[in-house]
A and B are shown apart, each in its own frame.
Chain A
Amino acid sequence: MKPNDTQNPLDQLLRQGLDHREPSDEHLAELTSRIQLELRSQTTSTRSAETVRLRAWSGILSVAAALLVGIFLWRNSTVPPNLNDKMVSPSPVAAFGVNQSLVFGEMQRVFDQRLAWVAETGQDVLMEVDSGETETEGPLLCIRLTLASKANSESGEEGRKVWEMDVIVRNEQTVRIGAADSIPQLVLWPFLTEDGKVLVETQFNLTVPNETNHRSTCLLTPGLAEVQGEVDASFVFSQRVVLLNEPAI
């Protein structure tokens, strides 16, 4: 008996039975409209969302003091500002993500619960403040993306960190960052799986120091540093993720 045997009596029974459950044309039309509206709202909110870019430590005076304290705490716990720092062994994972939930909570308060995500790289803090209500449910994640040059065993040159970014974002929230100055164009989407791992889809285009385009989908275990492999002959890209405690607001 072939698997797709349309004359199979069991298959016929299943199909006839489930034909009774076919939605009516009206039901289907209603569902179609509902989905179309949902997709429109998703694309609109992405486009209308205002991406607020703050030049850290200079323009930050215009933001609430709580935000300043938050960023200070966050920076102390994450990335050294010098992009040319030598690549070192990953810092203890336990220290990564300690203050991020506090930062996110403070920022949410400042922006009246309209903060979609926050990212920090080098001297820049980026965030998206949505014009509408943002997702407030779901686990909060902190994802660190690191691009590093490879060590050269012949010349003895050590690998160096080229670019690093920490992103605080809720599960299943898409982060889209347009290219600006030294910041690459980036799209990131995390998805927490049933077994507690985090699937992260990442795409970025880096123009400095080299034109680099990378796209990856990887499954990360929270708390573990994971090198995800080569971007090209010169660079390696790694990601790590931690689940943050829900900020007390």
Chain B
Amino acid sequence: MSRPDFELINAYRTTGEAKWLDELVARHVARVRKLIYPMVCNDSTADDLTQETFVRALRSLHQFQFRSEFGTWLGRIAINTCRDHLKKPRLVLIQKEGGLDEAASAEPEPADSVASRELVGEIEAAILELPLKLRSAVTLVCINKVEPVEAAAMEQCSLATIYWRIHQSRKLLSKRLAKHL
């Protein structure tokens, strides 16, 4: 039976052995990445921000006082890491359709694959158009099925605020993706 998070954290604090951190990472990495991906809709950026989330968590681990679940605390760091990243001015590389990757693929894609790829592209574009606070609310509650109470803890806002953000996001996304609903 696996040890609970707080035991791993205490073991790391006591011994300083990296194996406890390894186990925490292995346990939470998938969920953290899944929280982060919809915020950025880019694989390599999601990977980088997932790593940054754990690095920040390690730096602040001495401050974690078990007032919330470790996963909730980590989720809060993940969302804040994404926000910090997205607020930075950056160069965006827009790859034209039929770029190098596609040109290298000699086999034509099946029509349903193309259609689903287009749908995914539209969904991602719609999510990326949302303001950051709405985007993180959708990411947490609608996509990752985080309970609104936990989402409010991660976002450090009231439950009513989360409800309102979800309502607004759904309104905007429904309009944008109406033809698929």
Contacts and interface: CB of A to CB of B under 8 A. Distances in A.
Nearest to B27: A32
A90 interface: no
Contacts of A31: 29, 33, 47, 50-51
A200 to B, nearest CB: 13
Given A4-B145, A18-B143, A203-B62, A35 B25 contact: yes
A194 B84 contact: yes
A11 B33 CA distance: 19
Given A18-B37, A31-B33, A201-B63, A39 B167 contact: no
Contact of B120 (A11, A21, A34, A189): A21
A229 B166 CA distance: 38
Given A18-B120, A28-B33, A194-B87, A3 B141 contact: yes
Contact of A13 (B30, B62, B180): B180
B28 to A, nearest CB: 10
Contacts of A43: 16, 18, 21, 58
Interface in A35-83: 35-36, 38-40, 42-43, 47
- List the 10 closest A-B pairs by CB distance, nearest first: A17-B123, A3-B166, A11-B142, A194-B87, A40-B18, A17-B120, A36-B22, A35-B51, A32-B29, A3-B148
30 contacts: A3-B141, A3-B166, A3-B167, A4-B148, A8-B142, A10-B174, A13-B180, A14-B123, A14-B127, A14-B143, A18-B38, A18-B143, A28-B33, A31-B33, A31-B50, A32-B25, A32-B26, A34-B47, A34-B51, A36-B21, A38-B55, A39-B22, A39-B58, A40-B21, A43-B58, A187-B62, A189-B59, A194-B87, A194-B88, A215-B63
